[in-house]
Amino acid sequence: MWNDLVIGTGDKGNSAIHLFAIKGEHSISENRVSYWISGSTLLLNLDIGMVIFKDTEEGKQLGQMIENKEGLDKIRDFLEGIVLKNLSLFELKKAIKRAIEKSFQEGKRLKRSAKL
């Protein structure tokens, strides 16, 4: 799911390390050339993972936010804006359908466990 949305081009690398500089619960990692953002980091609940290359405008902005120790809420807002601006309508609809199905399945699971 890391490649649902890729901002920039090149070799994103094959591993990344969690960014502990950002306080709070998130799944943002980095390597030498890119940031990896798990969908669980975003509040959109769409499970869209993305890679942002550090040499792109978005990557530079994210890097500056991290350097300035911006809060997680502000970083999430920025990342969600990137998703909504760059994801195709087709991919956005697919992600929404996945989120609805996931929520429906979770509701069914909870209902079953409540009956036990």
Highest mean pLDDT among 26-30, 53-57, 105-109: 53-57
Model-wide pTM > 0.85:
no
Give the mean pLDDT of 23-48. 85
- Closest by alpha carbon to 9, among 67, 39, 54? 54
End-to-end CA, the chain? 34
pLDDT surpasses 80 at 40 = no
Total number of domains constituting the chain: 1
The pLDDT of residue 2 is: 58
The pLDDT of residue 17 is: 92
Give the tens place of pLDDT for each residue, 73-115.
999 999 999 998 998 999 889 888 988 898 899 999 998 888 7
Task: Round to whole Å and give the CA distance between 68 and 64.
Answer: 6
Q: Which domain holds residue 64?
A: 5-115
